[in-house]
Structure 1
Amino acid sequence: MDQDSPVLFGRRGAVATATLNLPKALNALNLEMIELLSRQLDDWADDDSVACVWIDGSGDKGLCAGGDVVSLYRESPAYGEKPDYDFTTRFFSREYRLDYRIHTYEKPIVVWGGGIVMGGGIGIVAGASHRIATETTRMAMPEVTIGLFPDVGGSWFLNRMPGRLGLFLGLTGAQFNGSDALFAGLADRMLPNERRESVLTELAGLEFFADSKRNREQVSNCLKRLELPQDERPPSILREHYDQVQNLTDFATLPDVCQAIRSYDGDDKWLQKAAATLAAGSPLTPWIVWEQLERGRYLSLAEVFRMELALAVNLCASGHVREGVRALLIDKDRKPQWQPASLDEVSAEQVEACFSEPWAENPLADL
């Protein structure tokens, strides 16, 4: 195995393993990683000797900090420049195709979600049949900070969280832990972070069958036996703040919701940070979040990814994402010059244009 490969593949008996392997970049997903993992999942799907798939991240800091937004910066135009859809269409269509493949994979997929799991990393986790959080898990969909939106199926999984937690997390990019992931439906089990290797060994020692349904049950029973006791888990921030989040988002219009969140003046550090992130973030993203969740409420999973593909490509082509990434990661001045500059300057026509497909046929039409 090439240890320099951005994804490492291996076998533990009937368990096939994939390790995202860019630890210095917190395993941020680039196009090569997406394509390597996609091809390998296809091969394993047809390999009768593979009963289960295991996905984790190299190093001890986390599974994946998100997509490779620096490449999006390089390949996207600035405000006012000629739109370019080529690279971003290729990147996002392949990433979303991989996410959809994980959601619909017949064989059990176990994803170890310890440490940092954000953005595109949540896309890898969300669709797996067995999603493991640990006491070190830190999740977020922080796209409001760079002028993107909670994609990789966010329109699907944010809509399925209790109450309006999904709306709040999409608007604010607020971080949440492993107990929160269980509460919000983004994890199935919490296991001790230090036991990653021994859990994989336990899975590899299971008796597997030709029937994927029976194998899923085997994996579920194994992981349940190894769970972290309730009294050793961190408290759930989302559960503790549930009523407050409901009150802050209990308005009929987006401007009223944003005003309520930004105006929070209490002593709670988590809510303070959420308010500050929303206030400093893209003025366009909240409108996209509001609309994507409304439109995505009754869409199929495939329709969700097709809608999000148009959104992602259009936001990159507009110069919006390039400016957000510039301010956060390139120049690091944290002073994005957003266009439009404020929430009330965003028109309904601008929002609608983001949902408009820029191709004759959606590249994910075959999902």
Structure 2
Amino acid sequence: MSLILTEIKNKTGIITLNSEKTLNALSLPMIRELAAVLEEWKTSENIACIFLQGAGEKALCAGGDVRQLHDAIIAQKAIDPTQIPQDCFDFFSLEYQVDYTIHTYPKPIIVWGHGIVMGGGIGIMAGASHRIVTEKSKLAMPEITIGLYPDVGGTWFLNKTPSAYGIYLGLTGARLDGADCQFLGLADYYIPSSSKEMILNALEQANWKENPHKTVTRILESISKDMCIPESQAATHQTFIQQFEKADTLEQFREILISYPEKDDWINTGIKSFEVGSPSSAHIIFRQLQQGKNLNLEEVFQSELNLSCQCCVHPDFAEGVRALLVDKDHSPKWHPATLDDITGEWIDSYFKWIIGEWKVNF
């Protein structure tokens, strides 16, 4: 079974992530197929724009196949735990190359961000020229719960959200709906899922002789213009989020989060994710977003590739995946165990250059 389905209709290249049973999670073979299609269509005269979707109605993409990465880390530990597992390097480097390709693609890419869009799914969506969410979109970067951090360009797009939303989303894995995404600039259009065929029909009838980006924009603006977008929970919590603009350290962030007096379900959910997540992840996420504010896109992906490889030789990533997806006991044994146990030297070790001559050209 092909992990990527393709179809061309009137110079519209339709790409479907085709692993419905895994909620279209990104495996290395799927990423390889996607990379090949994007490269082929980049200069093809038969393609004016791309429409990217997930198979089924549940998800665009639920993230990367971290179970496979866990297995590669465990196998490598038995040989030499100081070395990056080859499968992990291959996965992250190619995934980030695909994300970078989407960010810099010369043709319009429409991403149908319907259903679950998490982790690597957001990586695919974030850089597209035309990002659509629906009434069933659920987006999040919950990597803190598995000992990772918001990668796939998170350093770039989280830092571009207003106020302190980026650091809050990274440290709490807060779930966002379509209205939240449009408010935060993570989506361009809020369109009901029932209008998908209308979009595809309009693309099939489009005249591609003029500027394709303008043509796509005109189609999507026409279909979305009368949409009544629901109230955004992220927007209603703006006063709360603004408090974190004052947080210069992780300790200050935690104090503001815990001591905020007007807690509700949305805030309490964030507190819970932060408290049960990896203490090491919390520290590296805070530093990642602080240090990455002025990086260009290529530097972002280069730094994230190094950090992801470090996560593969540090203990918490494999342990987080074990607890959530392998043994499913939901009781990760983080090392170090608490925020207070973590030293500056420990966090520094995550940011040391590890990939050596494996540097990737984006």
Q: Same fold (TM over 0.5)?
A: yes
Q: Give CA deviations for 1:100-125 in whole Å, capped at 9, x if unaligned.
A: 00000001100000111110000000
Given the alignment of the two structures, is residue 299 of structure 1 paired with residue 295 of structure 2, yes or no?
yes
| 1:32 aligned residue (17, 29, 38) | 29
Equivalent in the alignment of 1:174: 174
Q: Which moved more, 1:68-77 or 1:51-60?
A: 68-77
One-letter amino acid matched to 1:12 = K
One-letter amino acid matched to 1:84 = Q
Partner SS, residue 8 of structure 1? strand
Whole-angstrom CA distance in 2 between matches of 1:276 and 1:293: 21
Whole-angstrom CA distance in 1 between matches of 2:149 and 2:347: 12
Equivalent in the alignment of 1:144: 144
Give the fraction of aligned pairs with identical amino acids, expressed as a percent: 42
Equivalent in the alignment of 1:124: 124
Q: What is the deviation of 1:5?
A: 1.3
Q: What is the deviation of 1:99?
A: 0.1
Query: Which structure 2 residues correspond to residues 312-323 of structure 1 after superposition, within 5 A?
Result: 312-323=308-319
| 1:218 aligned residue (204, 215, 218) | 215
Equivalent in the alignment of 2:248: 252
Q: Which moved more, 1:11-20 or 1:80-89?
A: 80-89
C-alpha change, 1:35 and 1:80, in structure 2 (3 Å) is closer
Q: CA RMSD of the aligned region, Å?
A: 1.6
CA contact (8 A) 1:262 1:279 kept: no
Equivalent in the alignment of 1:243: 239
Equivalent in the alignment of 1:186: 186
Equivalent in the alignment of 1:22: 19
Equivalent in the alignment of 1:92: 92
Partner SS, residue 77 of structure 1? helix
**What is the total number of aligned residue pairs between the two structures?**
359
CA contact (8 A) 1:261 1:275 kept: yes
Q: Give CA deviations for 1:225-283 in whole Å, capped at 9, x if unaligned.
A: 0016343x221111111111122553222112123324456451111111001000000
One-letter amino acid matched to 2:220 = L
Whole-angstrom CA distance in 1 between matches of 2:244 and 2:127: 29
Equivalent in the alignment of 1:54: 51
CA contact (8 A) 2:131 2:187 kept: yes
Partner SS, residue 51 of structure 2? strand
One-letter amino acid matched to 1:165 = Y
Whole-angstrom CA distance in 2 between matches of 1:208 and 1:283: 51
Equivalent in the alignment of 1:280: 276
CA contact (8 A) 1:306 1:362 kept: no
C-alpha change, 1:267 and 1:252, in structure 2 (3 Å) is closer
Given the alignment of the two structures, is residue 165 of structure 1 paired with residue 171 of structure 2, yes or no?
no
Please, what TM-score do these two structures have when normalized by structure 2? 0.95
One-letter amino acid matched to 1:107 = K
Q: Give CA deviations for 1:294-342 in whole Å, capped at 9, x if unaligned.
A: 1111111000000000111111121221100111111111110000001
Partner SS, residue 37 of structure 2? helix
Whole-angstrom CA distance in 1 between matches of 2:76 and 2:359: 25
| 2:304 aligned residue (302, 308, 311) | 308
Q: Which moved more, 1:344-353 or 1:75-84?
A: 75-84
CA contact (8 A) 1:191 1:228 kept: no
CA contact (8 A) 1:63 1:116 kept: yes
CA contact (8 A) 2:76 2:83 kept: no
Whole-angstrom CA distance in 1 between matches of 2:184 and 2:284: 21
Partner SS, residue 226 of structure 1? helix
Q: What is the deviation of 1:135?
A: 1.2
CA contact (8 A) 2:310 2:350 kept: yes
CA contact (8 A) 1:15 1:203 kept: yes
Given the alignment of the two structures, is residue 349 of structure 1 paired with residue 348 of structure 2, yes or no?
no
Whole-angstrom CA distance in 2 between matches of 1:148 and 1:78: 19
Q: Give CA deviations for 1:131-150 in whole Å, capped at 9, x if unaligned.
A: 01111111000000000000
Whole-angstrom CA distance in 1 between matches of 2:27 and 2:225: 33
One-letter amino acid matched to 1:314 = Q
One-letter amino acid matched to 1:152 = V
One-letter amino acid matched to 1:83 = T
Whole-angstrom CA distance in 1 between matches of 2:120 and 2:181: 16
Q: What is the deviation of 1:204?
A: 1.8
Q: Which moved more, 1:200-209 or 1:259-268?
A: 259-268
CA contact (8 A) 1:18 1:56 kept: yes
Unpaired runs of 5+ residues, structure 2, are none
One-letter amino acid matched to 2:151 = D
C-alpha change, 1:228 and 1:75, in structure 2 (3 Å) is farther
Q: What is the deviation of 1:360?
A: 2.4
CA contact (8 A) 1:112 1:133 kept: yes
Equivalent in the alignment of 1:154: 154
Q: Give CA deviations for 1:333-354 in whole Å, capped at 9, x if unaligned.
A: 1110000001111111111111
C-alpha change, 1:79 and 1:8, in structure 2 (3 Å) is closer
